[in-house]
Amino acid sequence: MEFDFAAEQPKLLMLMYGLIAFVVVVGGLLLLLDAVPSWFARRREAQLVAASASGAPLPRHRKPQEGMFAFFFLLPAVLLLLVGLVVPAIRTTLLSFMDGGSRNWVGLRNYTWMFSDDSIVRVLINTLIWVLLVPLVATAFGLIYSVLVDKARFESVAKSLIFMPMAISFVGAAIIWKFVYAYRGDGQEQIGLLNQIVVSLGGEPRQWLLDSPLNTLLLIVIMVWIQAGFAMVVLSAAIKAIPADIVEAARLDGVSPWQMFWQITMPSIRPALVVVVVTLSIATLKVFDIVRTGTNGNYDTSVIANEMYNQAFRYGENGQGSALAVFLFVLVIPLVIYQIRNLRQQREG
Amino acid sequence: MTTTTPTLPAGAQATGKTSTAAGRVRKRLNSRTATLASIVIAVLWTIPTFGLLVSSFRPENQIKTTGWWTFFGDPQFTLENYQEVLFGRSSSSGQLASYFINSLAITIPSVLFPLAFASLAAYALAWINFRGRDWVYIAIFALQIVPLQMALVPLLKFFSTGVSLGGVPLMPAWDLVDEQKFAQVWFAHTCFALPFAVFLLHNFISQLPKDLMEAARVDGATHPKIFRTIVLPLITPAIAAFGIFQFLWVWNDLLVALIFAGGGNETAPLTVRLAEMAGSRGNEWQRLTAGAFVSIVVPLVVFLSLQRYFVRGLLAGSVKG
């Protein structure tokens, strides 16, 4: 029962190599950029000296090497983006028109499979349920809570409580909630909070994560639990940014809190609301960890990202997995375009 | 006269008082329901974590037979779950200490690399004049919309078989074993983080005062010098914000690690191990509760101590755009 620290040493060594590589690459780049311009400056000086000595016309003053600097500053980022994101994304798009082993072109077969295979249609429907519910419910909770605790005495503590789940991994959150949903057979004492509540109200304990479609809703609860904090922080900042004189004027007019909320608060924070809903929709479309840890996608709970992982990395169906990834991408595009357009209006308005 | 004059203001004052009093009662009622509602939500949000935390300190037989709320009637406290899940040697015990080190080894470089490369790129896009600058910025900005799922299959192939064009090998396979696989994970995380990192840091760097930059240029400072001595110190809040973001993202990530790190205790991070335990040992709550907390502690400490920067970054990234 003793932990072997010696076995961990290669890892720490590897970490050190990584850090050395970091220092060498970044430091080297900066050193290089420092050295090159002074070399250019020396050369130009020499040219000037030579020109004035021989009486030839002075060389035209050229602009400093802006382009060269830009090139080296951008080089690592652009190179990595090309190798790690752009080229792979193009290849994935191509793979989605090929078979599982990526040998033969199969046209649109992977896409027709996606919309005709019953289990995949189920996956698409589940994803739709996720995307409809998570942004709305999480935003609603975040909004209500930020209004409730606004200017309250323990506002910052109260906010931290809701915000804390954002620091917890989706895996950790899924375990936390699986414990809430835990089941013990009839007659035994329940250890899960939800079943305990059901039992104490006179109901029968259930295996919550086995019954579709309830299990999908219970997994959605986990995502809402994590993301409400995000909605709250952004909306709370928007609420605090409402000009005080507007609120004061409304108060002097004898506006009730309810009217205040609908006629002053809501219109003022509309742009922030849209940003939150769209951001959450994008995050929800890609949800993977919760489903994988919660049910492993069994019992009709799978979603696109989980199915993509299964097809590509467990069943070796690269074509079908890629088609799912491309479909995910296509779903995200209109949301992002809407987001950008919205942000632009916000800046101009 | 002298006795009647005060009556009017007095009456006015009285009515004024009753209306404020009534207003106060109504307001207090409102604020009382508001307080109550906010407490209900706060409790709902906290209790699942609290239950898990309490359970992680209870003896195994107690966790498995009684609910954690009975702890307060019959408190029995033990650290054995943590001892077992961190340092136990049997393959079923978790061995989380080993995975904890993996998480650290994955996370630190995966935060540093994108931070450095993105701030260099963001500086160039904001303050160096060159042709096509706007296009490069728009392209990087647009890459934010590519879900990382789009890159997984080809990137894994890139690591395992290298690059060849028409049968001509351009780059050999990485052929990494055991802990060397960390490099794959660093590489993948760095690539995936860059679009957002460049975007966030560009937001900050481009808002630095123009006069300052021009003055430095006139004084003959080169771009690397300006970057090191003027820009970096001024954007520390942005660096902190992105650093926390990326730290939480990498530490908590499951998908990238699952694909690029493999599943063994040589490379896999805590999340991978926990997800596996939740699947195969879903009823071993004494291990899962303690294990979940081992993985939560580090991000929670980072998060709580640096919350200010995190919130600022969140707002800069999502609202100001």
Per-residue pLDDT tens over the stretch A152-209 = 778 888 888 898 898 899 999 999 999 999 888 777 888 889 988 988 898 888 888 8
Of A90, A109, A128, the residue at which a domain comes to its end is: A109
Of B41, B86, B275, the CB nearest to A141: B41
Same domain for A77 and A34: yes
Residue A59 reports pLDDT greater than 70: no
Residue A5, pLDDT score: 72
Across A146-178, b (16+ Cβ under 10 Å) vs e yields bbbbbeeeeeeebbebbbbbbbbbbbbbbbbbb
Same domain for A124 and A68: no
What's the number of domains chain A is made of?
Answer: 2
From chain B, the residues in CB contact with A313 under 8 A are: 152, 258-259
Residue A333 forms part of a structural domain = yes
Residue B35, pLDDT score: 83
Percent of the residues in chain A that have a pLDDT greater than 90, as a whole number? 42
Of A109, A142, A166, the residue at which a domain comes to its end is: A109
Closest CA to B297 of B56, B42, B67, B61: B56
Per-residue pLDDT tens over the stretch A71-126 = 889 999 999 999 999 999 999 999 999 988 888 898 899 999 999 999 999 999 99
Same domain for A215 and A300: yes
Residue A1 forms part of a structural domain = no
Number of CB pairs, chain A paired with chain B, less than 8 A apart = 351
d(CA B20, CA B9): 16
Specify the residue for token string 């579709």. A212
Is the Cβ of A88 closer than 8 Å to some Cβ of chain B? yes
Q: From residue B225, how far is each of A30, A115, B203 by CA, in Å?
A: 9, 56, 21
List per-residue pLDDT tens for chain B, 321 residues long.
333 333 334 334 444 444 455 555 555 556 778 888 888 999 999 999 999 999 999 988 888 888 888 888 888 888 888 888 888 777 667 788 889 999 999 999 999 999 999 999 999 999 988 888 889 998 998 888 889 999 999 999 888 887 776 667 777 777 777 788 899 999 999 999 999 999 889 988 988 888 888 898 888 888 888 898 889 999 988 898 899 889 999 999 999 999 998 777 788 999 999 998 888 766 788 889 999 999 999 998 988 888 888 777 777 655 433
d(CA B105, CA B257): 12
DSSP string of B72-130, one letter each residue: GTS-----HHHHHHHH--STTS--HHHHHHHHHHHHHHHHHHHHHHHHHHHHHHHH---
Into which CATH architecture does domain B86-320 fall?
Orthogonal Bundle (1.10)
Query: What's the average model confidence in pLDDT over A296-317?
Result: 91
Residue B220, pLDDT score: 82
Same domain for A120 and A105: no
Residue B250, pLDDT score: 95
Same domain for A87 and A123: no
What are the tokens at A104? Answer: 């033969």
Residue B225, pLDDT score: 87
Q: From residue B288, how far is each of A89, A296, B63 by CA, in Å?
A: 37, 16, 11
Same domain for A203 and A171: yes
d(CA A116, CA A108): 12
Contact B242, B118 (CB under 8 A): yes
From chain A, the residues in CB contact with B192 under 8 A are: 84-85
Residue B16, pLDDT score: 41
Residue A30, pLDDT score: 86
Same domain for A181 and A55: no
Contact B147, A332 (CB under 8 A): yes
| Domain ranges within chain B, ordered by starting residue | 19-78, 86-320
Query: What's the average model confidence in pLDDT over A257-273?
Result: 87
Query: What's the average model confidence in pLDDT over A33-39?
Result: 75
Which residues lie across from B165 on neighbouring strands?
B168
- Binary contact (B271, A161; C-beta < 8 A): no
Same domain for A165 and A144: yes
Contact B313, B245 (CB under 8 A): yes
Using DSSP, how many helices (H) and how many strands (E) does chain B show? Answer: 15, 2
Rg (CA), chain B: 29
- Binary contact (B252, A1; C-beta < 8 A): no
What angle, 0 to 180 degrees and rounded to 10, lies between the N-to-C axes of helices B182-205 and B96-127? Answer: 40
Residue A156, pLDDT score: 84
Same domain for A81 and A139: no
Residue A3 reports pLDDT greater than 80: no
Kindly report the CA angle at A11 between A7 and A14, in degrees rounded to 5? 145
Residue A90 forms part of a structural domain = yes
Of A109, A125, A155, the residue at which a domain comes to its end is: A109
Same domain for A167 and A97: no
Domain of residue A41 covers 6-109
Q: What CATH number does residue A165 fall under? A: 1.10.3720.10
Residue B30, pLDDT score: 67
From chain A, the residues in CB contact with B150 under 8 A are: 85, 88-89, 92-93, 325-326, 328-329
Kindly report the CA angle at B180 between B179 and B185, in degrees rounded to 5? 95
Which residues lie across from B168 on neighbouring strands?
B165
Residue B111, pLDDT score: 95
Residue B22, pLDDT score: 53
Pick left, alpha or beta for residue B146 (phi over 0 → left; psi -120 to 50 → alpha; otherwise beta).
beta
Is the Cβ of A295 closer than 8 Å to some Cβ of chain B? no
**CB atoms inside a 10 Å sphere around CB A6:** 6
Which residues lie across from A175 on neighbouring strands?
none
d(CA B321, CA B199): 9
Residue A191, pLDDT score: 86
- Binary contact (A86, B42; C-beta < 8 A): no
d(CA B115, CA B240): 10
Residue B9, pLDDT score: 40
Same domain for A333 and A253: yes
d(CA A286, CA A325): 10
3-state secondary structure of B164: strand
Residue B180, pLDDT score: 85
Provide the shortest C-alpha distance from residue B7 to chain A (in Å). Answer: 26
Contact B85, B294 (CB under 8 A): yes
Is the Cβ of B264 closer than 8 Å to some Cβ of chain A? no
Is the Cβ of B212 closer than 8 Å to some Cβ of chain A? no
A 174-203 near B (Cβ less than 8 A): 174-180, 182, 188-193, 196
Same domain for A126 and A96: no
Q: From residue A255, how far is each of A152, A248, A290 by CA, in Å?
A: 20, 10, 44
Is the Cβ of A233 closer than 8 Å to some Cβ of chain B? yes
Q: From residue B115, how far is each of A22, A316, B109, B174, B236 by CA, in Å?
A: 11, 34, 10, 24, 11
**CB atoms inside a 10 Å sphere around CB B161:** 14
